[in-house]
Amino acid sequence: MGHEYVGIVEEVGDDVATLKPGQFVIGSFFASDNTCEICRAGYQSSCLHRQPMGALGAQAERLRVPLADGTLVATPEMPTDDLIPGLLAASDVLGTGWFGAVAAEVRPGKTVAVVGDGAVGLLAVLAARQLGAEQIIAVSRHEPRQRLAREYGATDIVTERGDQAVARVKDLTGGLGAHSVIEAVGTQESILQAIRSTRPGGHVGYVGVAHGVELPGQELFFSHVHLHGGPAPVRRFLPKLIPLICNREIDPGKVFDLTLPLDQAAEGYRAMDERRAIKTLLTP
């Protein structure tokens, strides 16, 4: 299991043209050819030939990556150890948070709210800052995560939940709601909170995997809110994110607050489940 990964190329298949052994590479959670019409439009996670990497199992010493030319992006040189957590974050949680911000149409000068303070939500804050947002409201009830959200660029923290959180976001945005809201949880409560926190004409970028979500049609109709999201096409963003990390302009690796060897993976999941860790990094 596991679908986030970085590694060093050990061997390449006969049809692989752009990669060679010894390169440090980053992939993402769907392998994609990066050449079909859907990929060329920037939706590599819906590639016509996509293959889910979780099924191949990235939490392992070795991994076979199909469609390697399309899937993997190599770093310009071998990264130092301190850069590896950031590059691993790019494989999913940073790429996903970044897509949430892009899907929510974050632009310079806009107001942004982020629902969800897991690794994706925190890195959506970082993405919104990088994309030039003026005001970034993080919704979080957990003090260590609030601190990291501030460090990543949050200007305001909302600790309420549900409709009370919506009211706070409106208070902070002149009564209108945010221009852009990133939804990084995937529950009925969080998606409604995101829609209700968005001003008419604004955009929700939803990247929390939906569990049991049903949208009320009439509320949606009268909201005048754009909805866009889904499984992030992380591959689209890797060529932009890798230099930002390697040049130390961003440090997304701070979301990994627990590092464990591969044979203690179960403890890594327990720590995240019990909220003792934001995100666990497993080392081979």
The nearer residue to Zn ion, 28 or 198, going by C-beta atoms, is: 28
Least distance in angstroms from the C-beta of 85 to Zn ion? 29
- The Cα 222–Cα 127 span in angstroms is 29
Least distance in angstroms from the C-beta of 50 to Zn ion? 7
Element (H, E) at 115: strand 111-115
The nearer residue to Zn ion, 28 or 193, going by C-beta atoms, is: 28
The nearer residue to Zn ion, 34 or 130, going by C-beta atoms, is: 34
Element (H, E) at 259: strand 256-261
Least distance in angstroms from the C-beta of 47 to Zn ion? 3
Question: What are the two backbone dihedrals, phi and then psi, of residue 272, each rounded to the nearest 5 degrees?
Answer: -70, -40
- The Cα 158–Cα 149 span in angstroms is 11
Least distance in angstroms from the C-beta of 32 to Zn ion? 5
The nearer residue to Zn ion, 56 or 265, going by C-beta atoms, is: 56
Mask: binding to Zn ion, 151-170, rule CB under 5 A, as x and -?
A: --------------------
Do 149 and 157 meet the contact criterion of CB atoms below 8 Å apart?
A: yes
* Total residues binding Zn ion (CB under 5 A): 5
Binding residues for Zn ion restricted to 8-67, rule: CB under 5 A = 32-33, 36, 39, 47
Least distance in angstroms from the C-beta of 228 to Zn ion? 20
The nearer residue to Zn ion, 47 or 124, going by C-beta atoms, is: 47
Do 225 and 200 meet the contact criterion of CB atoms below 8 Å apart?
A: yes
The nearer residue to Zn ion, 36 or 272, going by C-beta atoms, is: 36
Least distance in angstroms from the C-beta of 156 to Zn ion? 39
- State the greatest distance between any 2 C-alpha atoms of the chain, in Å, as a whole number: 60
- Spell out the SS3 assignment of 37-88: HHHHCCCHHHCCCCEEHHHCCCCCCCCCCCCHHHHCEECCCCCCHHHHHHHH
Residues within the interface to Zn ion (CB under 5 A): 32-33, 36, 39, 47
